[in-house]
């Protein structure tokens, strides 16, 4: 065995009822290395890291740690060996302080008493080592920003003397400058010999931070040891999807037909968040909003939808002004929203796909007796919508929590196919979605637009806005600073506008 190989996994198999999630996965991770793990949703990445973290027991295969064959019967067993996992949905305790989170389960205590001063001092040293001495160790974690919580999770791993840290989509909730700081921290850890397994759908991040890449597909290792910086994107995408994706964005069908606007927003304001935002969306047009996290983009969509009470301006759908702060009025006017946080804001995770699809159309699902739900009608209509969007697996009785991120997003979109939706508001439509599912969602959005539906899109990924939208609004600090056809903009121009405020 190579001296610098910390972890070696061979032939890892994990089965669940009806699903072979892992079908013989191999993975080698060396000390002082950022090893990137790629694969579509459902490829087995999450199951693999849960096996490594001790949350799942493998049915077959071997795990070697520092040259010794080991088993991890529990998460604490993996942590004691020096393996820490930072999940996409951070498992911090919001009501506890930073210091208490860092040492939860291995408190600095004697005779049953926690030495809080020593624990606080140790926590400060760990945060200082990460370059974040400004985070107060006595503050409740729930009051910290997303970026600070990410640092606390890293600090907790270091407080356990972790030699391998698994990071699952660590940049998903971070702004551009916060991602750069995360990368700085990772570089510092790697320089000290710590190994990092980095999971991300963003190929540009893999290029920046990764040393080598392993690709999973259908529960198997299909490529390993690929150099992150020099492996062609086409090769990575082909490995993940099993097919060549020549064009990530489907071709535009041409400019939308002229005529009156479907949506008219005039001088819309939300005190302390955004001010004097005006925009319009025509039938069949895709309008994108670009800007940094915190620019007010999501809040604009939520205010248009009536989920937030506007403090100024007007929203008009089809020539009729909508009442402020009324989601019901927006839905009745033909507006649908796919929010940024689909799991917490859009889906009932424990309910079946059919119920999630029918939520906005329940009055249509009643029997002749008022108040009684026609479950057969609900199932049949939901199945029609999910098949149109190719939701997999094709089983509307399946709990929606069991689906991959891309298929969960399709369920949210399917909900609005059942009603009289004329305008679709999309907030981060491909967040946490793999490359293959992204292209499918892009095709769905373009198809809906070609059928006359208007789309208002928000995305943190500038290429996504430019590739999908017909027209783009750029926001900075709560204001629209530039509007132009998408073909007149490029990524550098947009970043200039949102970060420096240069309007030429």
Who contacts 393 (Cβ-Cβ below 8 Å, separation ≥6)? none
Give the DSSP H or E segment for 112: none
Distance separating alpha carbons of residues 276 and 265, to the nearest angstrom: 10
Query: What sign has the CA pseudo-torsion 66, 69, 70, 71?
Result: positive
Distance separating alpha carbons of residues 212 and 326, to the nearest angstrom: 50
Distance separating alpha carbons of residues 312 and 218, to the nearest angstrom: 51
Distance separating alpha carbons of residues 92 and 98, to the nearest angstrom: 9
411 CB neighbour count, 10 Å cutoff: 24
Distance separating alpha carbons of residues 158 and 148, to the nearest angstrom: 15
**DSSP code at position 323:** P
Distance separating alpha carbons of residues 462 and 139, to the nearest angstrom: 35
Task: Find out whether 250 and 276 touch, Cβ atoms under 8 Å.
Answer: no
490 CB neighbour count, 10 Å cutoff: 13
In the beta sheet, which residues pair with residue 36? 198, 213
Phi, psi of 127 (to 5 degrees): -65, -35
The pLDDT, as a whole number, for residue 500 is 59
The pLDDT, as a whole number, for residue 187 is 92
The first and second tokens of residue 442, run together, are 């892009």
Using alpha carbons, list the distances in angstroms from residue 89 to 159, 196, 206, 343, 434.
20, 18, 20, 11, 17
Who contacts 286 (Cβ-Cβ below 8 Å, separation ≥6)? 445, 446, 449, 454, 455, 457, 468, 469, 470, 471
Distance separating alpha carbons of residues 360 and 417, to the nearest angstrom: 10
Distance separating alpha carbons of residues 68 and 160, to the nearest angstrom: 20
The pLDDT, as a whole number, for residue 151 is 87
Tell me the CA end-to-end span of the chain in Å, nearest whole number: 59
The pLDDT, as a whole number, for residue 245 is 52
CA torsion angle for 267, 465, 341, 307 (degrees, to 10)? Answer: 20
Task: Find out whether 279 and 265 touch, Cβ atoms under 8 Å.
Answer: yes
pTM, two decimal places: 0.62
* Alpha helices by DSSP H, 400-453: 405-417, 435-450
Give CA angle at 245 (242, 246), nearest 5°: 145
**DSSP code at position 253:** -
Burial class (CB in 10 A: 0-12, 13-18, 19+), 377: middle
CA torsion angle for 415, 417, 423, 426 (degrees, to 10)? Answer: 50
Q: What is the CA radius of gyration of the chain?
A: 24
The pLDDT, as a whole number, for residue 263 is 97
What string of pLDDT tens digits covers the 504 residues of the chain?
Answer: 456 899 999 999 998 876 788 999 999 999 999 999 998 767 889 899 999 999 999 999 999 999 999 999 999 899 999 999 988 767 789 899 999 999 887 777 776 777 788 888 999 998 988 788 899 999 999 998 877 888 898 888 888 888 999 998 887 667 667 788 889 889 988 999 999 999 987 788 899 999 999 999 889 999 999 999 999 887 887 888 775 555 478 877 665 555 678 999 999 999 989 999 999 999 999 999 998 777 899 999 999 999 999 999 999 999 999 999 999 999 999 999 999 888 888 899 999 999 999 888 876 666 555 667 778 888 999 999 999 888 888 899 999 998 888 889 999 999 988 878 999 999 999 877 777 778 888 988 999 999 999 999 999 888 889 999 999 999 998 999 999 999 999 887 887 888 654 333
Q: Domains of the chain by range and CATH?
A: 5-241 (3.40.50.300), 272-334+422-504 (3.40.50.300), 345-419 (no CATH)
Give CA angle at 362 (346, 300), nearest 5°: 35
């Amino acid at each position: 065995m190579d001296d610098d190989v910390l972890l070696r996994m061979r032939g890892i198999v994990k089965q669940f009822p009806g699903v072979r999630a892992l079908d013989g996965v191999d993975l080698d991770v060396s000390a002082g290395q950022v090893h990137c793990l790629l694969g579509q949703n459902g490829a087995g990445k999450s199951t693999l890291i849960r096996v490594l973290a001790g949350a799942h027991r493998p049915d077959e295969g071997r795990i070697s740690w520092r040259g010794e064959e080991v088993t991890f019967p529990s998460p604490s067993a993996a942590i004691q060996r020096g393996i820490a996992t930072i999940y996409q949905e951070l498992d911090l305790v919001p009501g506890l302080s930073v210091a208490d989170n860092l040492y939860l389960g291995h408190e600095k205590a004697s005779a049953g008493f926690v030495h809080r001063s020593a624990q606080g001092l140790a926590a400060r040293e760990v945060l200082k080592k990460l370059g974040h001495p400004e985070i107060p160790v006595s503050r409740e974690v729930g009051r910290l920003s997303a970026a600070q919580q990410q640092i606390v999770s890293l600090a907790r791993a270091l407080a356990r003397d972790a030699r391998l840290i698994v990071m699952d989509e660590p940049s998903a909730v971070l702004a551009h400058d916060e991602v750069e700081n995360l990368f700085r921290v990772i570089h510092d850890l790697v320089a000290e010999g710590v190994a990092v397994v980095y999971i991300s759908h963003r190929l540009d991040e893999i290029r920046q931070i990764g040393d080598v890449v392993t690709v999973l597909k259908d529960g198997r290792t299909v490529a390993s040891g690929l150099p992150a910086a020099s492996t062609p994107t086409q090769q990575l995408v082909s490995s993940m999807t099993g097919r060549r994706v020549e064009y990530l964005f489907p071709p535009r069908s041409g400019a939308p037909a002229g005529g009156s606007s479907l949506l008219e927003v005039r001088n819309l304001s939300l005190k302390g968040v955004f001010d004097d935002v005006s925009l319009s969306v025509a039938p069949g047009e895709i309008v994108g909003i670009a800007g940094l996290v915190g620019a007010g983009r999501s809040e604009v969509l939520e205010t248009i939808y009536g989920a937030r009470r506007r403090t100024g301006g007007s929203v008009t759908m089809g020539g009729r002004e909508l009442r402020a702060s009324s989601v019901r009025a927006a839905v009745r006017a033909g507006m649908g929203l796919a929010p940024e946080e689909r799991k917490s804001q859009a889906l009932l995770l424990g309910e079946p796909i059919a119920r999630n699809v029918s939520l906005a159309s329940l009055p249509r699902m009643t029997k002749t007796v008022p108040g009684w739900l026609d479950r057969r009608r609900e199932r049949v209509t939901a199945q029609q919508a999910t098949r149109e969007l190719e939701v997999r697996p094709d089983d509307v009785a399946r709990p929606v929590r069991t689906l991959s991120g891309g298929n969960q997003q399709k369920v949210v979109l399917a909900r609005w196919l059942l009603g009289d939706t004329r305008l679709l508001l999309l907030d981060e439509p491909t967040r946490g979605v793999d490359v293959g599912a992204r292209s499918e969602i892009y095709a769905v959005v373009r198809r809906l637009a070609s059928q006359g539906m208007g789309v208002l899109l928000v995305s943190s990924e500038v290429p996504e806005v430019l590739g999908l939208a017909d027209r783009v609004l750029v926001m900075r600090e709560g204001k629209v600073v530039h509007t132009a056809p998408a073909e007149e903009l490029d990524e550098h121009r947009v970043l200039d506008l949102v970060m420096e405020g240069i309007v030429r």
